[in-house]
Structure 1
Amino acid sequence: MSILRSVLQVIDRTGIEPVAWTPPPAPPATGRYAPSRELDGIEQWRLPTGRGPEDVAVDGEGRVITGGDDGRLWRFDNAGAVTELAHTGGRPLGVEVLDDGRFLVCDSERGLLRVDETGRVELLADTALGRPLLACNNSAVGRDGVVYFTDSSSRFTISDHRLDLLEHSGTGRLLRFDPASGDMDLLADGLQFANGVGLSTDESYLVVAETGAYRIRRVELTGSRAGAVSIWAENLPGIPDNVTSQTSGGIFWVALYSPRMRLLDQVAPYPNLRILTANLPAFLQPDPEHRAWVLGIDGAGTVVRSLQGGKGSYSPVTGVREAADHLYLGSLSAGSIARLPRCELGL
């Protein structure tokens, strides 16, 4: 062990054990990734309390459901009027509307929850295959009620997600859970901060974002290749977060937390530098560029839409959902959700 590594371990307050890797060069900001301003000045609806409506879901009546960092689950009607539905007692992230009108919530502190309109919160799972759900993050629900969800890291909680990105040890999991039987199984592990999950329209496969690797993997669910995992979209221009299931128009929407961070990529091959970076004051660590960005990706894994905002636009975008008339956005740290008419985007 080098003298430098010995010194760094003495001063390290984080416990990270970095794995060296070399990210691919970020794609240039030209062509399909050229800067644009579709997401500037979009309408925002504030949360009554708390911040961070990380994900957004839309029910059959066009109402938007989201959760904040104070544990509250909210529902906005079509005019922006808001009602508190429940308090999870934790930190709700991914939200899905179930066929029976209840809500599935990935709570990063409590696990996988089911919530009804009376405010009743039911714990479905807080462990999986002998390990706690340390970072329950996002999900998709099949027509048969089976839940596909991510546990982002076995090393760090969601609040310490930066440490997971700096460590790059790949401990995220994609899990499948059947609420009817209680069966839980592993679909993929070794993922670099497993995040958003989206089902194809025929439910023959799903896609899962690897935030720490700037890519999205595809997992086969049916046929002779069921269980096979492959890279579906890679070297994305930003840091992928939540993913929606495929729309009727064939699009998977992907929220980008921020464009790629040059400093984060520069220190990636050097574990000692990453230990040092993790222990710097927050204002000296790699910082995301605050502007809105979402991608639309077709079934072949090709980016076909890139919607952006300028500096100071609604950000960081961590959730995106297409509904009948609007595209809705959520954010890990903003105080509001946002929306813009689909007609303005040519959808």
Structure 2
Amino acid sequence: MTPRLSVTARTAGPGVLPPLRPIPLGGTGPEDVVVDREGRVITGVADGRILRVPPRGPVHVEEIARTGGRPLGLEVLPDGRVLVCDAERGLLRVTPEADTGSGSGSGSGSGSGGSVEVLADRVAGEPLRFCSSVAAGADGTVYFTASSRRFGHQEWLGELMERTATGRLLRLPPGGGEPEVLLDGLDFANGVVLAEDESWVAVAETGAYRLTRLWLSGPRAGQRDTLVENLPGFPGSLSRGMDGTVWIALAGPRPRPLDWLRRAPGGVRRAAWRAVRPLPILPRPATRVLGIGPGGRVRHDLRRRRAGYRMVTGVYEHDGMLILGSLLEKGIVVCELPGRA
């Protein structure tokens, strides 16, 4: 039985996700997707490349930089530069090749594309591992997540199974400096998004099937609560769309065995992870995204079974479309947003 959403997040019923148009990238695992000022999709793939491609018209894939690691979450800044959470190298800032004035690039980790700058790779002296998702405020403050202090990105399933709850939400002040830990003990910290007025920041706790909110201003500043809970799948990346809608990529439905395992003693969880660690990961071939309002009520519940596109980890609304990314697939997909086409 599919778990129900919480009372504050109920919706009238699911909708059908329109047909998906694939855009091949020549790379695997475009985990997150964002759109730049010119309306082009930017994503990162497993070999470290940051790619740019138009969402409509002929497919033309450009490489704009190489991080030298594994790029995950992305955020486009007002000046055109791109924040990148690299699971191996930390929080980076990329200046796309077209904006550098040179085809060779410069700076630490740059490849044949644009320049790559490391903004943060340690927290309180500890190496920053599994840097996952990022959002930037209007004043230049950067909010980003680290999913686990025990597991790296290639062993993300181990974090879900062992339930170490060592994820963190971090803040980097304008102009750089030492990252500040805003929330600790998160259950697989993942996507992060700011409210339209930046009064709060929300983080996806993938292992807990919820979005946790931290108030940044107003009478509740500094308080933590739950924006939405008991989600029907694993929340991945988050993004903000029209009318303050928060889009949630659901990487997969909730499996009963995992729900049971996560309530088992620690020794059982660790033994189960050792047993499945060598096995291939085969997520169900289903695609689903949610769009919730600022109060946690579901505005969109869009799904397509047997879509041929698995493990949706990124979602972004742009120009009447939804753009989806995946940790496993070899490209992104685009579809019309129902009611906005």
Q: Is the 8 A contact 1:196 1:209 kept in 2?
A: yes
Residue of structure 1 in register with 2:60 after alignment = 81
Q: Are 2:11 and 2:297, in contact at CA under 8 Å, matched by a contact in 1?
A: no
CA distance in 2, matches of 1:102, 1:138: 16
TM-score, with structure 2 as normaliser: 0.88
* Counterpart position of 1:217: 212
Give, in whole Å, the separation in 2 of the partners of 1:134 and 1:284.
24
Q: 1:69 to 1:169 in 2, by over 3 A?
A: same
Asked whether 1:26 is paired with 2:3, we answer: yes
Letter matched to residue 44 of structure 1: P
In the alignment, which residue of structure 1 is the partner of 2:46? Answer: 69
SS of the residue 2:286 aligns to: coil
| In the alignment, structure 1 residue 314 sits paired with structure 2 residue 309 | yes
1:252 is aligned with what amino acid? V
Structure 2 residue matching 1:244: 3-state secondary structure: strand
User: 2:242 maps to what in 1?
Assistant: 248
Change (3 A) 1:124 1:32: same
CA contact (8 A) 1:296 1:305 kept: yes
Match of 2:20 among 42, 59, 75: 42
**In 2: Cα distance, 1:212 partner to 1:256 partner:** 12
Measure how far apart 1:286 and its partner are.
8.4
Distance 2:161 2:179 in 1: 30
SS at match of 1:292: strand
SS in 2 for 1:266: helix
Q: Pick from 193, 196, 202: which aligns with 2:191?
A: 196
Q: How much has 1:183 moved relative to structure 2?
A: 4.2
Unaligned runs of 5+ in 1: 1-23
| Distance of 1:254 and 1:38 partners within structure 2 | 14
Q: 1:309 to 1:345 in 2, by over 3 A?
A: farther
TM-score by length of 1: 0.86
1:190 and 1:334, CA in 2 relative to 1: closer, same or farther beyond 3 A?
Answer: same
Task: Indicate if the aligned counterparts of 1:37 and 1:310 stay in contact, CA closer than 8 A.
Answer: no
Determine if contact 1:201/1:248 at 8 Å carries over to the other structure: no
Q: Secondary structure at the match of 1:249?
A: helix
Specify which of 242, 248, 260 is matched with residue 266 of structure 1. Answer: 260
Match of 1:166? 161
Specify the SS of the correspondent of 2:244. coil
AA paired with 1:85? I
- SS in structure 1 at match of 2:139: coil
Q: For residues 169-184 of structure 1, what are the structure 2 equivalents within 5 Å?
A: 169-184=164-179
Contact 2:123/2:178 (CA < 8 Å) preserved in 1?
Answer: no
Distance change (3 Å), C-alpha of 1:151 and 1:222: same
Query: Given residue 260 of structure 1, which amino acid in structure 2 is its aligned partner?
Result: R
1:98 partnered with 2:77 = yes
Q: Which residue identity does 2:69 align to in structure 1?
A: G
Distance in 2 of aligned mates of 1:305 and 1:167: 32
Match of 1:19 in 2: none
Name 1:120's counterpart in structure 2: 115
Q: Deviations over 1:300-325 (max 9, x none)?
A: 01122101011243221000000123
1:323-338 equivalences under 5 Å are 323-338=318-333
Could you tell me which runs of 5 or more consecutive residues in structure 2 were left unpaired when the two chains were aligned: 98-113
**In the TM superposition, what is the alpha-carbon distance from 1:281 to its structure 2 partner?**
4.0
**Alpha-carbon shift at residue 68 of structure 1 (Å):** 0.1
- Would the aligned equivalents of 1:33 and 1:237 in 2 still touch at CA under 8 Å? no
Relative to structure 1, the CA distance from residue 61 to residue 236 in structure 2 (aligned partners, 3 Å threshold; closer, same or farther) is: same
1:231 aligns with 2:226: yes
Identity %: 46
Q: Write the distance in 1 (CA, Å) between the matches of 2:272 and 2:335.
A: 38
